[in-house]
Copies of this chain bind each other. A is one copy, B any other.
Amino acid sequence: MKRPSGRVADQLRSIRITRNYTKHAEGSVLVEFGDTKVICTASVESGVPRFLKGQGQGWLTAEYGMLPRATGERNQREASRGKQGGRTLEIQRLIGRSLRAALDMSKLGENTIYLDCDVIQADGGTRTASITGAMVALMDALKVLKKRGALKGEPLKQMVAAVSVGIYQGEPVLDLDYLEDSAAETDLNVVMTDAGGFIEVQGTAEGAPFQPEELNAMLALAKKGVTELFELQRAALVD
């Protein structure tokens, strides 16, 4: 098996995490998984959505978007279509759930953190890059909240990171780019904590069904990948 990217099966793409990418947001990160580039900002607002009012806790929510020409063919702008597509909503729900798993909301104070993940160039794995980058933006936003004295303790429970794995030409491979993803038989997105637990596991057979042993092989690859991603996150967070 030869990957189109030339990488070996368990090799991540070149990953870059650039903090303070834009100047207004409390946290702002450009995350690059190879040619996939996502701007992840964390915005802090005081107050919480109506369903949480008066409970003394915080909230975190995420939104996801793609510039119309982030992809090979131009997609219609969702703002001009008048609605977000199903894929967009599915991804932003995943990002929100994943990052909420990083926090203890009761320590956040009555604040809301918005994570905006906007893909400026897509080459496969935008959702996993988004989660991995948003985690770093979130860390910066927490620092701002800490400085403002707006927290009620340490809200960080654990770091999260995400990677895709798949079966490509019968073999499990890590961190698929667009070409690999298009040809993969199975596509699995894995969100993990730095303690090694799973937050989300979402696998889809694109062609033939996959077997339990394939699933386990992919999960092992994912674990190797996120372990490296946690190191890259930590390195990026050193001032």
Contact = CB atoms under 8 A, between A and B. Distances in A.
A198 B205 contact: yes
A86 B90 contact: yes
Interface in A78-92: 78-90, 92
Interface residues of A, number: 67
A204 B208 contact: no
A165 to B, nearest CB: 12
Nearest to A84: B79
Number of copies of chain A assembled together: 6
Contacts of A89: 85-86, 89-90
Nearest to A101: B205
A1 to B, nearest CB: 21
A22 interface: yes
Contacts of A114: 68-69, 74
Nearest to A118: B67
B24 A71 contact: yes
Nearest to A30: B120
A205 B197 contact: yes
Given A192-B209, A205-B101, A116 B86 contact: no
B24 A70 contact: yes
A193 interface: yes
A24 B69 contact: yes
Interface in A158-198: 158, 188, 192-193, 195-198
A184 to B, nearest CB: 14
Contacts of A201: 188, 201-203, 215
Contacts of A85: 89
Contacts of A121: 22-24
Contact of A205 (B200, B212, B215, B216): B200
A93 interface: yes
